Amino acid sequence: MPRFALKIEYDGAPFVGWQRQRALTSVQGAIEAALVKLDPRDHTIAAAGRTDAGVHALGQVAHCDLAKDWDPFRLSEALNYHLKPLPVSIIACARVADDWHARFSATERRYLFRLVSRRAPLVLEAGKVWQIGHDLDTGALQAGADRLLGRHDFTTFRSSICQADSPLRTLDELRVETVPRRDGAQEINFHVRARSFLHNQVRSFVGTLERVGAGAWSPDDVTAALQARNRAACGPVCPPHGLYLAGVTYPDDPFD
């Protein structure tokens, strides 16, 4: 069966997350239902990463196997037609080798977290960013973030229900960026990059670093939390709606 890679964009708000769940609306379930319209049989697609409820994607990647050798552009158009009106879009599609795997062939995942400091309620970006009411010290944020770079036991920063075999991960980038805005509010973007992540790791990072930027924690407190290897030492876990799976890297990008 021909195998196709799909690059996917979605608004996570109406979904219970990526993973299919019985009688609930998931991103995986929505795409598999669209595939049934094109190839009437049960479909199971695999993704580069499973996003939680409320988490968005700019560049999620999945693969599917179909009976017909579709033209990739026509396949993406057909899927997008059958995905309406759900907020999911196939933004690229490519034919890949039969042994290519969206998850296991990936060498890096990239996440973006958007935080906005503004007193007035956000209307156009509601559900798309984490809004707080106080400004943050970006220098302190980056100093705290730097304490997390490298290979560590990240037990403190993973969910208690995380199913990963090991808490050891290598964090390649955790960069703090200030983004200019027309409303004059402070927007801070966190760019996070690693080969793989633990459950709730990015949200745990950002929630903890917010405390550093607010002056409640010091960068040394981040180091102490990391070294504690204890979930109780983590700062508050921030909400999911500011988090985006920004992209996935492969040795040979199928979408180039």
Q: Catalytic positions, please?
A: 52
List of residues 6+ apart from 232 with CB closer than 8 A: none
Say how far residue 80 (Cα) sits from the centre of its chain.
Answer: 21
> What are the b/e assignments for 201-223, b being 16+ CB within 10 Å?
bbbbbbbbbbbbbbeebebebbe
Among 57, 230, 228, 238, smallest CA distance to 136 is for: 238
Could you count the other beta carbons within 10 Å of the beta carbon of residue 77?
12
Residue positions counted in the chain: 256
Tokens of residue 46, six digits: 């695999």
Residue type, 53: A
Residue type, 66: L
Dihedral sign, Cα of residue 244, residue 31, residue 92, residue 47: positive
Q: What are phi and psi of 222, to 5 degrees?
A: -65, -45
**What CA–CA distance (Å, rounded) separates 32 from 70?**
16
